[in-house]
Amino acid sequence: MRNILLVINYIGTNYHGWQIQENANTVQAELQKALKTVLGDFESLIGCSRTDAGAHAHMYCCTVRTENRMNIFKLQRALNSTLPLDIAVKHISVVDKDFHPRYNCTSKTYAYHICNAPVRNPFCEERALHYRPKIDEEKLNKIAQDFVGTHDFSAFCGRKTSVEDKTRTIYDVKIERKGDIVVIFITGDGFLYNMVRIMVGTLLFINEGKIAEDAIPKIFKSKDRKSAGKTVPAYGLYLYNVDYNGCCNGDENGSTQKKETKI
């Protein structure tokens, strides 16, 4: 039995997130169909996290257990020939049998894309939030540092959150602009339901003057969802990076190592 790590990327527009659901198409469901076609029998396709409906991924990690001995690079090519065009396997390797894509993860980075322009850009539709008010990225970047550290994120999660412990650690927040595109990168040890989208919505409310510039620490203390900003749409959200202490990060160029590797 081999434990195979798949690093995939996908456009989430046509999917209700990663996890299989009844009466809804998901990325996991499509990947399972492709694995069934290529491998036949396999066990336990496990993902690194849930993702929101309509959200995207530059790097999503999952594992599949199989007794099939197909060469992993032939497996990669076969899966990419079988999967829909909006899902691709960009890296593949054999990992230790006890490796778990969720529990071995040390941090995740999400990127939220904003098209900051007076006129909407058709090429950004379903890929980035169209936001007209001018963003002062340098000023907002300084304000966003109030998120860094270990905090109770009760005020920054959706009401559907069933997790009791809402303490999370944010390692880094940075905001970058390239032309009209502003990207907010948030790295942390874990995230609650809608947490990144509410953090971004809060920064945009601060940008508009709807929330005070020094309000983030006060919002943490309030633990009140109503004191934070709006929940921005999922289509601007990308799972950007999943870290396992650097030992199985996908190659940004999609290249694959020449041999099977172990973590």
The yes-or-no verdict on residue 259 having pLDDT over 50 is no
52 is an active site residue = yes
Candidates 41, 52, 136, 172; catalytic one = 52
The Cα–Cα gap between 247 and 224 comes to 38
- Domain shared by 69 and 115, yes or no: no
The yes-or-no verdict on residue 254 having pLDDT over 80 is no
Q: pLDDT for 30-71, tens place per residue?
A: 999 999 999 988 988 999 999 999 999 999 999 999 999 999
Q: Which residues pair with 177 in a beta bridge?
A: 182
Higher pLDDT, 257 or 126: 126
Instruction: Tell which of 81, 104, 127 closes a domain.
Output: 104
Q: Which CA distances in Å does 74 have to 10, 79, 258, 263?
A: 20, 9, 12, 21
Q: Which CA distances in Å does 254 have to 7, 58, 78, 113, 165?
A: 9, 10, 16, 21, 36
Q: What is the CATH number of the domain that holds 91?
A: 3.30.70.580
Domain that includes residue 20, residue range: 2-104
- Domain shared by 79 and 98, yes or no: yes
Exposed/middle/buried for 168, CB within 10 Å: 0-12, 13-18, 19+?
buried
- Domain shared by 68 and 136, yes or no: no
Strands 181-188 and 107-115 turn out to be antiparallel
Domain count, the chain: 2
- Domain shared by 152 and 234, yes or no: yes
- Domain shared by 125 and 185, yes or no: yes
pTM of the entire predicted model: 0.91
Instruction: Tell which of 49, 80, 104 closes a domain.
Output: 104
- Domain shared by 34 and 49, yes or no: yes
Q: pLDDT for 111-134, tens place per residue?
A: 999 999 999 999 999 999 999 999
- Domain shared by 111 and 60, yes or no: no
Residue 246 lies in a domain: no
Q: Which CA distances in Å does 197 have to 103, 120, 158?
A: 23, 20, 9
Q: Are 238 and 55 in contact (CB under 8 A)?
A: yes
Backbone dihedral angles phi then psi of residue 38, each to the nearest 5 degrees: -85, -45
Residue 245 lies in a domain: no
Residue 246's pLDDT band (cuts 50, 70, 90): low
The Cα–Cα gap between 128 and 121 comes to 9
